[in-house]
Structure 1
């Protein structure tokens, strides 16, 4: 897959998340997906994302930086949201917070097979 096609594929995945189009998640995420070293599979990945949206109803994935080097993608996602309760163990309780996620993906057969995610928790802590 070329860089441009991989970038388009990734943007489609982000649109799927932002639209909470869970029925189409399997078009972008491999059945055997691993998240931060743990095999959670497509159903576990979907459950994780659904939980995120329940905890953060206004969650929106905003791509700030996108680098594609097939079969890998590196992205910096920006969030400006209002979690209902705790977020990453921090008592947010309805306050608006801004933070970033640096995330790396590896694709197999056009689908995300591996995800490595690092959340900027310090940015959230500094806003509390």
Structure 2
């Protein structure tokens, strides 16, 4: 934990359930509930981001890939940290992350790490395998 972070009072099981609910929120498109999961400002891949902008990014993803689905493959919780390996699937219908849709569906890995402060996401890091998406759309 970083020196200036607040210790969370959530147990390992509570953090696991918290993350499962977060992914469920994403899959149900209930982005208006994001305030239950994230601070007003989060640090996303090292950059401060307002929660409203994070929500807008989710909407951008599902606008381009309406059937985008996140499936947790592995979930590790330790202290105030959550790490997840997900498989994301969907069929892009609009340009997405600089890639032109071709009518083909994609399946790719996403790795995400989170730091929880005061019961909500404060620091978030994620990496999507866009090379695999590019190859699948071109195939």
The SS at the match of 1:61 is strand
Measure the CA separation in 1 of the matches of 2:50 and 2:33: 15
Within the alignment, does 1:46 sit opposite 2:55 as a pair?
Answer: yes
Measure the CA separation in 1 of the matches of 2:27 and 2:116: 20
Question: Counterparts of 1:84-95 in structure 2 under 5 Å?
Answer: 84-95=93-104
Q: Give unpaired runs (5+ residues) of structure 1.
A: none
The SS at the match of 2:82 is strand
Q: CA deviation at 1:67?
A: 0.5
| CA-based RMSD | 1.2
Return structure 1 stretches of 4+ with deviation > 3 angstroms: none
Structure showing greater Rg: 2
Aligned length: 128
Measure the CA separation in 2 of the matches of 1:45 and 1:125: 24
Q: CA deviation at 1:64?
A: 0.8
Q: Cα gap change, 1:16/1:124 in structure 2, threshold over 3 Å: closer, same or farther?
A: same
Q: CA deviation at 1:77?
A: 1.2
Relative to structure 2, which stretch is displaced further, 59-68 or 83-92? 83-92
Is the 2:111–2:127 contact (alpha carbons within 8 Å) kept by the matching residues of 1?
yes
Is the 1:80–1:97 contact (alpha carbons within 8 Å) kept by the matching residues of 2?
yes
Measure the CA separation in 2 of the matches of 1:51 and 1:88: 10
Within the alignment, does 1:67 sit opposite 2:65 as a pair?
Answer: no
Measure the CA separation in 2 of the matches of 1:81 and 1:48: 16
Is the 2:61–2:96 contact (alpha carbons within 8 Å) kept by the matching residues of 1?
no
Q: CA deviation at 1:29?
A: 1.1
